[in-house]
Amino acid sequence: MRVVSGIQPTGGLHLGNLLGAILRWVRMQDEAECLFFLADLHALTIDVDPAKLRANVREMAAALIASGIDPAKSTLFAQSAVPAHPELAWILNCTARMGWLNRMTQFKEKSGKSREGASVGLFTYPVLQAADVLVYQATHVPVGEDQKQHIELARDIALKFNNDFDVELFIPPEPFIGGGTAARVMSLRDGSAKMSKSDPSEQSRIHLTDSDDEIAQKIRKAKTDPEPLPEDPDQLEQRPEAKNLVGIMAAMTGETPAAVLQRFTGQGFGMFKPALADATIALLEPLRKRLIELRQDEAALDAILAAGAEKASALAAPTLAEAYRAVGLRQ
């Protein structure tokens, strides 16, 4: 079992990333060989501020370590430090079909109304993502629900490549999506949009770096409705914001939404929100303290990433060489 997954250094780590992906990565470290990377090449697909990106890579590395990723157990590196990723991505760009990429909903969401003005990189990003996992022969890719379609695309690319070139090179990876409500944490401002780093509204998400007061304030102002909480989770189906807050509580405490509702049945959000803020602060505060310490030693972070990149490059090299050979190059 080999686990590979990444996160874009496009902004600060938020509660959705943490519950949907990172805390699951942390748990998998003891069960499998794990590679985790900062998807800094992916971060180029939207507008780039070079100075900010440089700082964000270190900051995200510190945030992952603060959240429990242990560089002694897992290989932690920046994607751009391992050229095998973009090299394989080019080869796979020639395997993937336009029609497949046209169906990717994330491109539609991220390009918005300006499809013609979106970068080509944003369109082919899922192919680079396929290369990210295929180059390591990953068996499990722990991601949030929003990435399911991209992992399925990686499977299709792997199968087509193997078939086209009559090789058994790539392992079609499994999306490994957590159960329960953590898989899709929604925005605090809009129950129909997922919580994202790239959402322009700071109020839409809770960052690992938010102070206790900011966390409490964001939850207090989170969009809700005036109805009391029901006993039955099915009754939240038409109330996406309420459903999301109950889901976040459940993901943090490990309860089911039904168990959370049992504690709050008949109560309004005036009672629920302070309890949710307390639970969120209890989860994030120790991580934030570690992050503040870790980010001070930039040299140590750089050394961790450099060692990780060296290990990752060695693991990627044989598969990349096989891929070149399969298509008739470099032999």
Toward ligand ATP, which CB reaches closer, 13 or 323? Answer: 13
Toward ligand ATP, which CB reaches closer, 3 or 326? Answer: 3
24 touches ligand ATP (CB under 6 A)? no
Toward ligand ATP, which CB reaches closer, 7 or 315? Answer: 7
Nearest approach in angstroms of CB 206 to ligand ATP is 11
Sorted by sequence, the CB contacts under 8 Å of residue 328 that are 6+ apart come out as: none
- Residue 77, Cβ density class (10 Å: 0-12 exposed, 13-18 middle, ≥19 buried): buried
Binder to ligand ATP among 3, 4, 21, 69 (CB under 6 A)?
A: 21
List the structure tokens of 329.
């190059």
Degrees, nearest 5: CA angle 84-89-92: 130
For residues 57 and 40, the answer to whether their CB atoms sit within 8 Å is: yes
Nearest approach in angstroms of CB 268 to ligand ATP is 25
295 touches ligand ATP (CB under 6 A)? no
What Å distances lie between residue 59 and 13, 212, 293, 320, CA to CA? 9, 20, 11, 30
110 has catalytic annotation: yes
223 has catalytic annotation: no
Nearest approach in angstroms of CB 185 to ligand ATP is 4
What Å distances lie between residue 18 and 13, 57, 107, CA to CA? 7, 17, 23
**Sign of the torsion angle spanned by Cα atoms 179, 184, 185, 186:** negative
Binder to ligand ATP among 74, 80, 95, 147 (CB under 6 A)?
A: 147
What span, in angstroms and rounded, lies between the C-alpha atoms of 49 and 124? 21
Q: Is 112 assigned a ligand-binding role in the annotation?
A: no
From 110, 148, 273, 311, active-site residue:
110
Sorted by sequence, the CB contacts under 8 Å of residue 117 that are 6+ apart come out as: 111
Binder to ligand ATP among 7, 219, 248, 260 (CB under 6 A)?
A: 7
List the structure tokens of 36.
């985790």
197 has catalytic annotation: yes
CA-wise closest residue to 121 among 91, 99, 101: 101
Q: Is 132 assigned a ligand-binding role in the annotation?
A: yes
Nearest approach in angstroms of CB 156 to ligand ATP is 19
129 touches ligand ATP (CB under 6 A)? no
* # residues contacting ligand ATP (CB under 6 A): 19
Q: Is 221 assigned a ligand-binding role in the annotation?
A: no
> What character string, x for contact with ligand ATP (CB under 6 A) and - otherwise, covers 74-113?
----------------------------------------
What span, in angstroms and rounded, lies between the C-alpha atoms of 231 and 98? 47
Q: Which amino acid is located at 271 in the chain?
A: M
How many other C-beta atoms are found inside a 10 Å radius of the C-beta of residue 297? 13
> What character string, x for contact with ligand ATP (CB under 6 A) and - otherwise, covers 168-207?
---------------xxx--------xxxxx---------
Instruction: From 2-10, 27-35, 76-84, 269-277, give the range in contact with ligand ATP by CB under 6 A.
Output: 2-10
Nearest approach in angstroms of CB 81 to ligand ATP is 17
> How many contiguous H segments (helices) and E segments (strands) does the chain have?
13, 5
Q: Is 17 assigned a ligand-binding role in the annotation?
A: yes
- Residue 144, Cβ density class (10 Å: 0-12 exposed, 13-18 middle, ≥19 buried): buried
φ and ψ of 36, to 5 deg = -125, 135
**Binding region for ligand ATP (CB under 6 A):** 7-8, 10, 16-17, 20-21, 143-144, 146-147, 183-185, 194-198
Give the residue numbers of the binding site.
8-10, 16-17, 132, 144-146, 185, 194-198
Q: Give catalytic residues, as residue numbers.
A: 110, 194, 197
